[in-house]
Structure 1
Amino acid sequence: MQISDFPVPETPAARGALEMAQTYQSAAITAHALRSWLWAEAFARVDGIDDVDHELLYVAAVLHDIGTVAEYDNHTLSYEHAGGHVAVALTAGAGWPAPRRARVLEVIVRHNWPSVDRAMDAEGYLLEIATGLDISGARPEDLPESYRREVLAAHPRGALAAEFSACIADQAARKPDTAARRLHEAGIARKLAENPLARLG
């Protein structure tokens, strides 16, 4: 397994998602988004999930945290709902039909669920377990070490632990009824600091 096994979709929506991420997000958060996509694609392979909308998964992964940036932060909505609506707007511009735009919102929102039923939502399941690996260190041994090292070399973790911990703490304080509070109270700062991926690169 290697990065070249998972080509980036060559579509307007995919290009637009990456451009937005690179324009508005920090380098560390954008690298986290790209690693999350690569972990999700890898988990699809190891878990035997073949019926994946790869373009939708890429757009959702790249934009799943964009609701945390100042330009798109919503004063009442959770950051995952806010980011999901950014993805809806982007994909509307790219010509996606309404049901598929609704799906990108669902996938981004569900990445913050405690778990997602793969039979109900394959892409939501994949993004949830992928971000679980990148943030909390879940299931690292299910992916080859050589692949984990390659992904981390291509998209280093950098200041992710400090940046994302502070971001979630801020979101939890301002929007205590959202998933950010659960993540904060569950010790996301500690999980980021102790993530086994940090020892690989």
Structure 2
Amino acid sequence: MISDLDSIKVPDSKIITDAQDLVHEYGNELIWNHSNRVYLFGAVKGDQDKVKYDHELLYISALFHDLGLTKQYSSDDLRFEVDGANAARQFLNTYNITPQQVQLVWDAIALHTTPGVAEHKESEVSLLFHGVGMDVMGDNFDQFSESIRKSVVQKFPRKDFKHDIIKAFYDGIKHKPETTFGNMKEDVIKHFQPDYSNDNFCTRILHSKWDS
């Protein structure tokens, strides 16, 4: 079990600096600290599991993964995860990045709230998913040493993260609750609007235009 953050590589390049600047400009302290914790937890898990991954692509994925919640990047009709993925793709396309690398980052961000799928894809996709799960819900909490957990939070404080992140999710998607159909963010809408009722999968099947 890794016990020292010094063993974790934090990318330092022009594209990383530009991505960080973008998060500072359009995000906020909550997103900045959360995104960096997500990267560190994902990287620690990758190193502990001896998984090969691209540190730069994982970090960019972490920095962009919640930007779909911001006014700058939020669309009227897409899932916030897709908005973040589209923002990352737009950003990466201005650099010397291969289409395959762009797609990898897009997939990582778009699937970061999709359990049962993301963890079985490429390392960067899986590690972003695990990093998010650890920071938001404490998934695999005991796989991280206490010293690592304390070091990460000391560098990027949580403050009242549990409540702040739920409110951030709601503020970012309340104008398009229909995009939560079939995914866990419907729970966020219902947390603030207990009477909210989204489409039902079985109802969609039974009320489709098919005769049988």
Same fold (TM over 0.5): yes
Q: Deviations over 1:21-74 (max 9, x none)?
A: 11211112210000000000011122221x201110010011100111111111
Q: Which residue of 2 is the match for residue 107 of structure 1?
A: 108
Q: Which residue of 1 is the match for residue 55 of structure 2?
A: 54
Structure 2 residue corresponding to 1:12, chosen from 5, 11, 14: 14
Q: Which residue of 2 is the match for residue 25 of structure 1?
A: 27
Normalising by structure 1, we get a TM-score of 0.84
Normalising by structure 2, we get a TM-score of 0.80
Cα pair distance change 1:12/1:116, threshold 3 Å: farther
> What 5-or-longer segments of structure 1 have no aligned partner?
190-201
Q: Which residue of 2 is the match for residue 132 of structure 1?
A: 133
C-alpha distance in structure 2 between counterparts of 1:6 and 1:97, whole Å? 25
Cα pair distance change 1:117/1:107, threshold 3 Å: closer
C-alpha distance in structure 1 between counterparts of 2:49 and 2:13, whole Å? 26
Contact 2:77 2:179 in 1 (8 A): no
Task: Tell me the SS of whatever aligns to 1:84.
Answer: helix
Q: Which is further off, 2-11 or 20-29?
A: 2-11
> What 5-or-longer segments of structure 2 have no aligned partner?
192-212
Cα pair distance change 1:139/1:187, threshold 3 Å: farther
How many percent identity over aligned positions?
24
Q: Deviations over 1:139-168 (max 9, x none)?
A: 111011101101101100124333321232
Are 1:169 and 2:170 an aligned pair? yes
Q: Which residue of 2 is the match for residue 97 of structure 1?
A: 98
Q: Which residue of 2 is the match for residue 122 of structure 1?
A: 123
C-alpha distance in structure 1 between counterparts of 2:154 and 2:113, whole Å? 26
Q: Deviation of residue 174 (structure 1)?
A: 2.9
Q: Aligned Cα RMSD in Å?
A: 2.2
Q: Deviation of residue 122 (structure 1)?
A: 1.2
How many pairs were matched up? 188
Cα pair distance change 1:112/1:122, threshold 3 Å: same
State the structure with more CA Rg: 2
C-alpha distance in structure 1 between counterparts of 2:60 and 2:190, whole Å? 24
Task: Tell me the SS of whatever aligns to 1:113.
Answer: coil
Q: Which is further off, 11-20 or 101-110?
A: 11-20
Contact 2:166 2:188 in 1 (8 A): no
